[in-house]
Amino acid sequence: MLDLPRSARLAAWGTGVLSADVPLEPAVAAVLRDDEPHAVSFEEGASALPGLPGTPDDVRTLLAALAECAHTAGGGRLLLALPVPGDPRGLPGPAAVNVAALEAGECVVAELDGCAQRWALVPEVTEFGSVWEPGALVTWRVLGAAPRRAPESSSVAESERELRVALSTATQALATLDVARWREDAADRIAAVRDGGLARDAVPAGTSPRVTRVLQTAARVLAIVDLATEDDGAAITSLEATSRARALREVAGVARRALVAAVNAHAEPVRP
């Protein structure tokens, strides 16, 4: 199955909880999957959520608290960012938050209507176990983000057009490698990426077909890029390897931006 980063699932399902369109328990289950229960750590610079006497210490109580605050404030949303070095789009600021988000490669920004404070939720993941029985310990670091700014993501329609080209480019790069001939597990993995659909609980029921389609295509592009960048494969010269790597970085950037656009479009409008 094709899947989304934890931050994408938290943003998509969490916004549904904040708008009272999605029950809390299915949202928590979709974010956690097979992980251990996610912890939450409010760090220096992150003010407490308005109207609450304490600070949540796990993702279930965090979503419940944000939903309560959104109801009081008149609305709220969770927005996705997938920043990487060289493509810092969506970084919430200030500098310390940006560093944490870049290191994680993902974060969620919580906004409440009428509230100047924003919160950046950055996952810190420790994996354990084996490929047969994987596990993960996840702590969402809650940091104080900079005041609200104009959105930096593309439209879903624009992202869908760009993804068509990106998918073609990524598929061609994988074909050029001809990995199925020299890597034992490649054929099965390629088939899984080619034929796989988006995990059933990646986004809430009722998500628009176009948003779901864009998310699935973006997840497929990123899975192909992961396969194609594991090694140089059939590249004969360093120039060919460098050229292909550059092309794959570009299509990965298109896919990340499409994920952000689709998840954040899903967040509009949200009113309890």
Percent of the chain with pLDDT over 90: 43
- The 3 state secondary structure assigned to the chain is CECCCHHHHHHHHHHHHHCCCCCHHHHHHHHHCCCCCCEEEECCCCCCCCCCCCCCCEHHHHHHHHHHHHHHHCCEEEEEECCECCECCCCCCCHHHHHHHHHHCCEEEEEECCCCCEEEEEEEEEEEECCCCEEEEEEEEEEEECCCCCCCCCCHHHHHHHHHHHHHHHHHHHHHHCHHHHCCCHHHHHHHHHHCCECCCCCCCCCCHHHHHHHHHHHHHHHHHHHHCCCCCCCCCHHHHHHHHHHHHHHHHHHHHHHHHHHHHCCCCCCC
Cross-strand partners of 118: 145
> pLDDT per residue over 22-42, tens digit each?
999 999 999 999 999 999 999
- pLDDT at residue 30 in the model: 96
Quote the pLDDT of residue 107. Answer: 95
| Highest mean pLDDT: which range of 48-57, 81-90, 103-112, 169-178 | 103-112
Domain boundaries, the chain: 6-149, 156-260
Of the chain, the percentage scoring pLDDT greater than 70 comes to: 83
Tell whether pTM > 0.85: yes
In this prediction, residue 108 carries a pLDDT of 96
Question: What pLDDT, on the 0 to 100 scale, is given for residue 82?
Answer: 94
Q: What is the mean pLDDT of residues 6-16?
A: 96
On the question of pLDDT at 256 being above 60, the answer is yes
What's the token pair of residue 162?
Answer: 């760009």
Burial class of residue 14 (count of CB atoms within 10 Å of its CB; 0-12, 13-18, 19+): buried
Exposure of 130 by Cβ count < 10 A (0-12 exposed, 13-18 middle, 19+ buried)?
exposed
Of 91, 89, 202, nearest in space to 145 by CA: 91
- Residue 193: per-residue pLDDT: 74
